[in-house]
């Protein structure tokens, strides 16, 4: 098999970047099964709740990022998108304590 791979040039291919190793993983699988690499330089918070694994990590390019069950959810770079959805400046969120992200089917019941 190695002979066949060598004949195709696969063993000499340099187009794939090296895998970075460290004290925490920089790699996450997306909801559509793609492997994504982020420039994460620290884990700010990590805890297992009764419902899911919760992490807040820091990315050099995206800022702080919320990761739930190893899926990237939202980051500071998404602020303009989030503010647009929340109707920032049009809605009054004073004294509000809960935010529900991405659960449109749930909102049908309210």
- The ranges of the chain with pLDDT < 50 are none
In the chain, where the domains are located:
24-107
pLDDT value of residue 53:
93
Supply the DSSP string of 21-90, one letter for each residue. -SSS--EEE-TTS-EEE--EEEEEEEEE-SS-EEEEEEETTTEEEEEETTEEEEEGGGHHHHHHHTTBTT
pLDDT value of residue 109:
56
pLDDT value of residue 60:
93
pLDDT value of residue 62:
92
- What's the pTM value of the predicted model, to 2 decimals? 0.62
pLDDT value of residue 50:
92
Contact, 86 vs 45, CB < 8 A?
A: no
Beta strands across the sheet bearing 71-75: 40-48, 53-59, 63-68, 71-75
CATH placement of domain 24-107: 2.30.140.10
């Amino acid at each position: 098999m190695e002979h066949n791979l060598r004949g195709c040039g696969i063993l000499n291919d340099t187009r794939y970047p090296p895998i970075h190793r460290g004290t925490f993983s920089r790699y996450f699988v997306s909801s559509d099964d793609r492997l994504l690499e982020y420039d994460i330089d620290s884990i700010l918070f990590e805890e297992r709740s009764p419902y899911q694994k919760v992490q807040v990590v820091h990315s050099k390019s995206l800022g702080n990022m919320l990761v739930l069950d190893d899926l990237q959810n939202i980051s500071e770079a998404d602020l303009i998108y989030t503010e647009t959805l929340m109707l920032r400046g049009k809605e009054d969120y004073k004294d509000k304590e809960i935010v529900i992200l991405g659960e449109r089917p749930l909102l049908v019941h309210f």
